[in-house]
Amino acid sequence: MAALIETCGLTLHFGGLKAVDGVDFTLNSGEIHALIGPNGAGKTTFVSLLSGRRLPQSGTILMDGTDITALPAHVRVRKGIAYTFQITSIFPRLSVFDNVALAVQARGVGDLAGRTRAALARVGMEGLEKQEAQTLSYGHQRLLELTMGLALQPRVLILDEPTQGLAASEIEGFIRLVEGLVPATTVLLIEHNMEVVMDLATRITVLNFGKVLATGTPAEIRANPAVQEAYLGA
pLDDT at 142: 86
pLDDT tens profile 97-142 = 999 999 888 777 678 999 999 999 988 898 999 999 999 988 889 8
Give long-range contacts, CB 8 A cutoff, 24+ apart: 193-201: 193/163, 194/36, 194/232, 196/163, 196/171, 197/34, 197/36, 198/222, 199/175, 200/32, 200/34, 200/175, 201/32, 201/33, 201/34
Distance CA 101, CA 111 (A): 10
Query: CATH number, domain at 170?
Result: 3.40.50.300
Mean pLDDT computed over 20-29: 98
Phi, psi of 87 (to 5 degrees): -105, 135
Strands (E), the chain: 3-14, 17-28, 32-36, 58-63, 66-67, 81-84, 156-160, 186-190, 203-208, 211-216
Q: How many domains does the chain have?
A: 1
Residue 79: pLDDT above 70?
yes
More confident call, 218 vs 232: 218
Domain hosting residue 54, numbered range: 3-232
Tell me which residue of 25, 115, 95, 27 sits closest to 64, measured CA to CA. Answer: 27
pLDDT in tens, 198-220: 999 999 999 999 999 999 999 99
